[in-house]
Amino acid sequence: QVQLVQSGAEIKKPGASVKVSCKASGYTFTSYNVHWVRQAPGQGLEWVGIMEYTGDSYTAYAQRFQGRVTVTRDTSTSTVYMELSSLRAEDTAVYYCAREAPGGDFDYWGQGTLVAVSS
C-alpha cells in the first residue's frame, strides 16, 4: 500500500534551518509529483512547493517562500526532502508531504512533521 512516512518533530531557533524528510513506499517513486503543504496552529493549509516526477527533478515554490525553501529528492531511497532556512516564529507549523496522482489528485499524505521555531 502507498505510504508516505515523514521524519520526527523538530525544535529550532530563529535563523536556523530545518530539513524534513518524506519516505515513499508502495508505488513507483519516480512516477508521481510530491508536494509540501504546511499548516500553522489553528490555521488553514498553505501550499509550499512541489517536486515533479520528471527526470530533471523540476521544482517550484510558493512565492512567499522563494529563496528560503529547497525541495530535493533521493531516488535511491525514495525520499523527498524539504529544507526551510532563516526560520522565524511564523514558520511554526505542521509540514505535510503529499503525493499528486494524475488529474491533480492529492491522494496520499504523510503523517505530518511539527516544526517549532522558538528562542
Partner 1 sequence: QTVVTQEPSLTVSPGGTVTLTCASSTGAVTSGYFPNWFQQKPGQAPRTLIYGTTKKHSWTPARFSGSLLGGKAALTLSGVQPEDEAEYHCLLYYGRVLNWVSGGGTKLTVL
Residues near partner 1 (CB under 8 A) are: 35, 37, 43-47, 50, 60, 62-63, 96, 98, 103-107, 109-112
Cβ–Cβ under 8 Å, residues 40 and 115: no
Closest distance of CB 71 from partner 1, Å? 12
- DSSP class of residue 54? S
Reduced to 3 states (helix: H, G, I; strand: E, B; else coil), residue 29 is helix
> CA 16, 9, 64, 103 torsion: positive or negative?
positive
Q: Which is nearer to partner 1, 13 or 42 (CB)?
A: 42
Q: How far is the CB of 47 from partner 1 (least distance, A)?
A: 4
Residue 20: Cβ within 10 Å count: 25
Nearer to partner 1, 29 or 96 (CB): 96
Q: Positive or negative CA dihedral for 46, 39, 94, 64?
A: positive
Decide whether 12 or 112 has the Cβ nearer to partner 1: 112
Closest to partner 1 by CB, 81 or 108: 108
Q: What is the residue type of 93?
A: A
Shortest Å, Cβ 26 to partner 1: 15
